[in-house]
Structure 1
């Protein structure tokens, strides 16, 4: 409809204020209520205020055109493309047609580049604000919808958003583009459009029909239309087509629906005009030239344009309201529709449009048509429109005899496209149907796809394993397809022995297949991982072979395995570098599931490395991403709980563990039970609830043993279990745990096992009443071998254990030194509960434990021992640090206290300078 937003002053005012305040605005209401008119009014106001407005108005027919809507939105920013990075420019080249498209369109990369381009616009001082407006958002083509959803979530609130959507019950359905989700959900203003009153309808009808209707008739039209302006206009036009206006009390020419009213109006048009608008309604993107090839003269559209049904703008032919196009399509009889689709296919100038029309009209087997349709499907997939490609592949398969090889290939391609689009229910259904109807290797491929869908969605883990096992049962033995199935089963199987056997078979079958290098690399990585988990010696050459096979692109099936391996060895730097490299690639593609997984791994890496602020940042980002796309957040919650426990917030950490264990019992999920039992044990141990801690660690060990995890790489719990058993008085179990840890260290020595074993021996020696001197010396040596930036929490806990052992042996000075140093290191980390425990233990020595005003805890203890005449070696042995660390601390002490020798240091320490806080 033309004209201004008559009768909508209040809603326009609310929407304008919300946009100015940085809120997102959704205008919603039933068809014909005037959403587009309100949107145009708001756009005019924003333009008048100097805002940059980026807009699109997608239609139903354009849903099959990938990135059509996004191209409209970004077109005004084409001259800003040089500000983007080369990968971002390449991603948008196929969307804006600003450069050569050299490969498939990665729609995730398009989303990232869209956000970057909007950031460039938002940073330009020439515009007070940037406004993205989408009229009729449900008709967005899926690739555009995903790119805008991804980008708008990240540029808010710098970019304002205005969207309209059809809704019979405003507020009931989720908002388009995820505007009601984090982080934009808290700033969404939903504006519901209600019916117009009689006064407003008077102005609308006069503008649309050029007539002033009698007020009694106007009141009746308002009542019959329910205040819907479009329906009121159609009713008024129907009344004006009558020979005379109806008398008061006479029936109006009402119809059951707006669509039927439009159909009745279309029926009054001349036959050539009806033919012309039918062809326009069935076309993907109707133009005068395209319609002319189908036999439509430009003059044939005149009557429809005069009736307000269509608008011709340059070469483009469009309907003035989506309801008009839908009504025209609905009234075309099936036989006529079939002929019109064939006519459009035969006269199409674009091969993709021809293929779309062929898919709608062909019914009997037609290999030539099927090949055309499949070629278009592949182009659509390359352009980032997997949903459209899936439908076209379905049509190509339908037109191909079942015995033809192409039939199976195209059906499988349709399943893969649905999976790529994220439509897991559709991918599951079509994969299962293909598995039922196909035979031979094609059936195995369908079952493997079914397994991948199950693994990637919320289905139980056994669903993926079952489908893959069925695939293995029908796959040709010794084939590369069998190798791919085995590689996937090595991922799906959590038990190390069967996973190892599958990985071994996959590596052998894929070794000579150049096309399967990424999967072969994954098989090698999974073989290394599961051999170690099964208790076999680590064949690190498998890792080197896999990394060489990967090249620059990490294996998608097992790309995190190298980082998992390096984390288990406490090589945090290598793990961090690998994960950040993968995260950068995932972010460039906009691959949110991969980003979520990698952020979780980074969070765990930084927890171990003692970089807890970095860990918290990674976990917060992982949680936000997971909430946005619906990921399982069990791993995030577990690590957040660990961070709470490390920081001394033990009640909260215990609550996280309790909820995780409850959920694990509901789902019968052993992985959840393992991680949350470990968290529950650590929270109880730190809080002094030692029998409870011992129970949780015992349950964790039982699960690990039941699964055959001889080496559970990620779970390092034996030292804490032993400490809990000692505290609970269960020394028999503590001795068994020590033996278990000793075997684990002998099999694969790592910094954490070195420290944990030494700490455990001191604890057990003290509990058994033995002389702990040798164990303490071993502990000092172990701590000296581990650099301060590797496992800082474990290193500080070694000092705590040593301090307690010294105190029990009545070596008060050594005890105070170790405990004060432990408290200082706990403080530096932010481990509040452990720092408090160290200070409490120090107070039990009966000496001063006040912290210095100028010196750190370690510096103070080094200074005291040096002033008392201790050598660097004796100080190192007492404090469980290396001689080089003693030298470095002494240098800082000299600088802070302004002294140059040990003699001067002794005098200063005797006076108490730098000692009393």
Structure 2
């Protein structure tokens, strides 16, 4: 993980990622002369999309009027109006009737006592006339960001004009912060044909692309997954989490929530501060892969779970789903901020309680690990068993995470050794497609491993992590052969990978067949039936494609008992 982050020169913070469909829809509406209202929660990327659309459409507009309101200035009357018309007033002043010009100049400059109550009709007509006057010289584009902070006077005047523009070539492009679908009232300040476009969460792949673009490259796939889950797909939250990780000297332990920077904690701390201490401790019980039920929280010792969860729901911290009794946070960031703010001993206490209350053995083992400090052979064994269960359930990513926790809690002289468990976790990561995590684990093991079997196993992970790019790890094969020595079982593993290299990199079927046959022979000599079967299967496939006369005999050998269910 990078620790020296600097935003690269090639980076464009306004580049729109993951919004192709909605940008196309909005572009088509603007191009046809319509207006667009972008809406969605804080940090979802409304301003980025607005800037991109404004840049595209500015070339087609004769005049572009802009305003960007802020909460701290929303009480100042006519401020947005001044931002929009302040620089063009001289162009249109002589085209306005006297009473309208006087009212508008008074509102924009602050001179005089213009108010909506006193000059309401004159001001409303002045804004309408001003837009029509500008449109007479060419299309007008009104760009308004953070529409929710527009002062009420400016919003009223814009709405009055927008509803009466008719065929006048004036388009509005606005962005407003909303929760759920609460955007209807903002449409009243826009033309009747305005298209409301909601920005939703980014997918995991889109978050990964965004992080790469902004310089947070090389993050393990599992970390990107955690960033996506914690951010809820919100691009601003994802970038802030990426920045916090880049500054961390050590990544979080497997299974732990990501570090939440102060910039994001502030978004939810004001509501968390209204919770009682006991309610906070109850919500800590929600730090699970699957949302807990009140019954589980009761079993974990939280006697007033219902009342405390009801308090949290009233504050908007929990989602209320009458038909689903599970305790769900309204946003994953709330859960992460709550965890980050809790003292370490309270976190451990919550995990300890859940380790006995949870019914699922994988959940129990995970909480037991996070409640334990230092090494503990019993905890390590429980985690290893849970990893095996996750593997059998077809969840290799979970198995890898649990395996790393097992290694962390295994004493240095434990059996299996810590690095054996790390290598098993790396192999699970390979199966899960998390090749960067697997490669990092294997490289770490190689820095200290001296036992040939561990070293060769680690080299195999490095080779597997290369995927089809086996030519990139050519230097690994001589080292793996040297570590294997004259051990036929270890040599069989290396020659099996050499068979793949010959086929994928060189395209040499004859060499690939020869390496596979050698690997099968070595594995048979060592009594390693699994590797023998893999090598025979590879050899048989290659011979069949070559039209080699030995193919039927090799297939027959590969089908002989004993078989291995994992091959």
Question: Larger C-alpha radius of gyration, 1 or 2?
Answer: 1
Query: TM-score scaled by structure 1?
Result: 0.32
Query: TM-score scaled by structure 2?
Result: 0.50
Structure with the largest fraction of helix: 1
Structure showing greater relative contact order (alpha-carbon pairs closer than 8 Å, 6 or more residues apart): 2
